[in-house]
A = this chain, B = another copy of it.
Amino acid sequence: MIEQEQEDVASAQIAAVRAFNRFYTRQIGALSEGLLDSTFSLTEARILYELAHRDGLTASLLARALEIDAGYLSRCLRKLEDRGLLVRQKSDTDQRQSVLALTGRGREEFAPLESGADAEVSKLLSRFVESERRRLVEAMRTVRAVLGPDEDAAAPYLLRAPEPGDLGFIIHRQARLYHDDYGLDQRFEGLIAGIVSAFVDTFDPARERAWVAERHGAVVGSIFCMKASDTTARLRLLYVEPSARGLGIGRRLVEEVIRFARAKNYQALTLWTNDVLDSARRIYEAAGFVLVEEENHHSFGQDLVGQNWTLAL
C-alpha cells in the first residue's frame, strides 16, 4: 500500500454512499415530476421556495444557496418579475444589489405548488407504517446532520402532557437506549412498563403529572412526577433522546417537576437512579438534589449502583 495523505475510507462505505446517490437521483427525479404540469420549472420552484421561506435574499445569495449560475438566475428572476410574482428593491447598503421579495401574487401562485409537493410526499409516506416513516425521517435527519451544517441545533422544543401512545413510546425508547448504552435487558423494560402501568392505574390528577418533550413533532424526552406519600413526591422516568441532548431539555424537565411538586405542597422530592447515568446525575446535582443512599445491586443483567437522591422543597 502506498501512503495516503487522507485517512483510508473503507471502499464499502464509498460504494454505499455512491449507491445512495444514484438511488436518490432517481428518487428526486420522481418527486419533481409533480412540477411538470405546473407553470414553473424545477429551478423556478426552488427559487420561489427560498424566497417564500427566507427574507432579505439577494440574487447572489440565492445563486450561492441554490448553486445556480448567476446569469441564468438573473434571467429566471426577470421572468418571475415580469409575471408579477416578485419585486426587487435596491439595497440601501449596497447600490449594486437588490433585495428580492415575493409579491402577494407570488405567494398565491406558489401556494398550490407547496401543497402539491406536500400531497405528493404524503402519498409517498402513506405507503409505509408509522414506524417505517419514523425510521425514514430519522435517517434523513441523520444524513443531513452529518453532511450538512447543523442549522437544526437551535430548533425549538415544547413540553406537553403525554397523548395516547406516548407512554408506550417512552418505554420503548428508554428500554432501547439503556440496552444499547448499558446492556440492560428486557427486565428493565418490564420495570418501566410497570411504573407506567402503576402511574395510569393510580393516577391522581391533583398531585401527579407527566410531561413529554416534543421536537420536530417527535417525542424526544419525558419525565414523571408521582406521589410517594402525602408529603413526598417521586421524580421518575427522566430521559432525553441522544439526538436532542445539549439543548437543556433534561434540565427543563426536572425544573418543571420541581415547580409542580412545590405548587402541590409536597415537602420533598426523591428519585432513584443509577451511578452510570452521568448526565442525569449532573442535572440532579445542579437542581439541588442530594445523594442520600447508594446500594450495589445486580439487576437487568448488569452490576449496578443504585442511588437515592432527595430534594427538600
Binding site for B on A (CB under 8 A): 6-7, 9-14, 16-31, 46, 49, 66-67, 117-118, 121-144, 146-148, 150, 162-176, 178-179, 184-194, 196-197, 199-201, 215-220, 241-244
Contacts and interface: CB of A to CB of B under 8 A. Distances in A.
Given A31-B21, A216-B16, A218-B129, A164 B179 contact: yes
- Please report whether the interface of chain A is mostly helix, strand, loop or mixed according to DSSP: helix
Chain copies in complex: 2
A121 B19 CA distance: 11
Given A14-B118, A21-B28, A200 B186 contact: yes
Given A25-B28, A133-B9, A172 B168 contact: yes
B6 A123 contact: yes
B118 A11 contact: yes
B17 A121 contact: yes
Contact of A200 (B21, B24, B132, B190): B190
A129 B215 CA distance: 10
Contacts of A167: 171-172, 175, 186, 189-190, 193
